[in-house]
Amino acid sequence: MSDMRRREFITLVAGAAAWPVAARAQQPGKLPTIGFLGQSTRSAATEWTAAFVQRLRELGRIEGRTITIEYRWGEGREERFAEIAAEFVRLKVDIIVTAGTPAVVAARQATTVIPIVFAGAGDPVGAGLVASLARPGGNVTGLSTLTPDLAAKRLEILREVVPGLRRLAILTNLGNRLAVLEMREVQAAASTFRLDVVALEIQRGEDIAPIFEPLKGRADALYVCLDPLLLTNRIRINTLALTARLPMMTATRDAVEVGGLVSYGPNFPESWRRAGDYVDKILRGAKPADIPVEQPTKFDLAINLTTAKALGLEVPPTLLARADEVIE
């Protein structure tokens, strides 16, 4: 080999050895990766996901360009939450984003190191997810949804729409600690309004249809406690409720958009936007332990007039005037 060729060869080898270092300096490893643990299904969460991604984009974090988002869908099943959380730990994602107490608990059980941001959890302190709202103290922070406290308010609204309300059916997933807490709040509120209560308790999607069969004539309205499994099955629940001629109250307007009668609860798209801010802060170096958990400030009342008509109900004009969304 001539001297010149040898020099070229050495330069080439040295360059090849140095190249990965230079490449690493140029683009520091992979893009920051967000593990998105959807508690229900892609179709059920379209609006929420869009709000989250849009907020990240406004903050200059563009999917596929400056960040990577790995989406996984739990379909309301707790065993799926655990599987997805374990997968995210294996993938070494930079942040896990999720919502709903069962999903947040699964993520927290999978890792005490990777930051976890929740776009909604009913009682993060009671569930042991954070030490306090002001100083979470661990790897978890986000937005509380305060759902149980709103139970009495929901019943007041339901009584305005269903004037003869005497008997209330309450649908709960017993596997969700927070849903059980909400059910107790509803029962307490129902007793102050002197309503009879029919408890409908499920633990799997297959339990839903059979529970409606004996309901005909036994209840005047249905209250659905907030839960990922029930959210995933919201279309089926709406159909069964309409067949049984039961006006239905829920926490999320998603159920009203597919035929439920009325919903009152935190503005969830807004919570998902705020989750985008949390992710941005953490990617800039803030620690979840130091970012306070926020309480919701905006609440939405949604009413489906088509459903009201189908059930032969007259929605009071005063209630319509207060509604944030009226579906006709």
SS (H, E, C) 209-264: HHHHHHHCCCCCEEEECCCHHHHHCHHHHHHHHHHCCCCEEECCHHHHHCCCCEEE
**Residue 153 shares a structural domain with residue 200:** yes
Model pLDDT, residue 147: 63
Residue 49: which of 82, 27, 16, 71 has the closest Cα? 71
Q: Which long-range contacts (CB under 8 A, 24 or more apart) does 308-312 make?
A: 308/161, 308/247, 308/261, 310/242, 311/242, 311/245, 311/247, 311/261
**Residue 204 shares a structural domain with residue 79:** no
Lookup result for tokens 């059930």 = 311
For 170, list phi and psi in degrees, rounded to 5. -120, 120
Residue 214 lies in a domain: yes
pTM, 2 dp: 0.80
**Residue 281 shares a structural domain with residue 259:** no
Q: State the residue range of the domain holding 116.
A: 33-145+267-297
Query: How far apart are alpha carbons 278 and 95 in whole angstroms?
Result: 10
Most confident range (mean pLDDT) of 4-13, 146-155, 178-187 is: 178-187
The model's pLDDT over 68-101, given as tens digits with 9 standing for 90+, comes to: 999 999 998 889 999 999 999 999 999 999 998 8
Residue 147: which of 230, 219, 64 has the closest Cα? 230
Residue 97 lies in a domain: yes
Instruction: Work out the pLDDT band at 21, boundaries 50, 70, 90.
Output: very low
The model's pLDDT over 224-265, given as tens digits with 9 standing for 90+, comes to: 999 889 988 999 999 999 999 999 999 988 889 889 999 999
**Residue 110 shares a structural domain with residue 129:** yes
**Residue 131 shares a structural domain with residue 241:** no
The model's pLDDT over 176-200, given as tens digits with 9 standing for 90+, comes to: 888 998 999 999 999 999 999 999 9
Give the number of domains in the chain. Answer: 2
Look up the CATH number of the domain holding residue 286.
3.40.50.2300
Question: What's the chain's average pLDDT?
Answer: 89
**Residue 110 shares a structural domain with residue 173:** no
Single-letter amino acid, residue 102? P
Residue 9 lies in a domain: no
**Residue 185 shares a structural domain with residue 86:** no
